[in-house]
Amino acid sequence: MKILKTTTEILAMAFLALTVMSCKDIKKENSNTKGSHSEMNHNNSDGHHNSDKKEMVMDNNQDDDAVMILNDYFNLKNALVSDDEAKAKEYGGVLKQSISKLDISKYNKQEQEELSDIIEDAVEHAEHISESPMPHQREHFKILSKDIIDMVAITGTTTKLYEQFCPMYDGGSAWLSMSNEVKNPYYGNKMLKCGKVQREIN
């Protein structure tokens, strides 16, 4: 019995050590990457905060409304990566408007029904983000990200996107990125690199 207890304790400690190592925040790396959270433009020579850098989906063959939603979603994500509550509130409000404007008339009946449900839910979470402190912003961003992923499954994308996943936040949480480099919007600088690419979309 004593051996079994000791073995169990050793396994538990090994698992904990592996989990911490896989998601630990490397301070030296963070000090080098702090302020470089925008995936499309790492140059900060103009003196502006990088959450102002806009990550843009450029595609003439994709639904314009869906492209706008993705652009606003990535701006929100980057604000959370940067731990910028004010910008996250701003982009939450912008995203609420762009989601509301999604024209679903070009899709078939079943897709319209699914998109209608997605829009209703996503608008609610974007609105909460626009009015909440950062811990709540991140809680709503988790569900909002699922809505956006579901939206992309219907609207499609001709721009390569990466679905990324953090095993540590709220039992596991996903988000979309235009880069395969992991920058965690759920923990920001606390655990910037925690996560992995779960799949590529397109």
Domain ranges of the chain: 2-201
Average pLDDT over residues 151-160: 94
Q: What is the mean pLDDT of residues 94-112?
A: 97
Contact (Cβ atoms closer than 8 angstroms) between residue 143 and residue 126: no
Question: pLDDT tier at 57 (50, 70, 90 boundaries)?
Answer: low
What's the pLDDT at 142? 98
Say if pTM beats, i.e. exceeds, 0.85.
no
Task: Please report the pLDDT score of residue 158 as a whole number.
Answer: 86
Query: Above pLDDT 70, what percent of the chain?
Result: 69
pLDDT score of 93 more than 50: yes
Helix (H) or strand (E) run with residue 111 in it: helix 109-131
Other C-beta atoms within 10 Å of 88: how many?
Answer: 28
- Radius of gyration for the alpha carbons in the chain, expressed in angstroms and rounded: 19
What's the rounded Cα separation, in Å, for the pair 6 and 8? Answer: 5
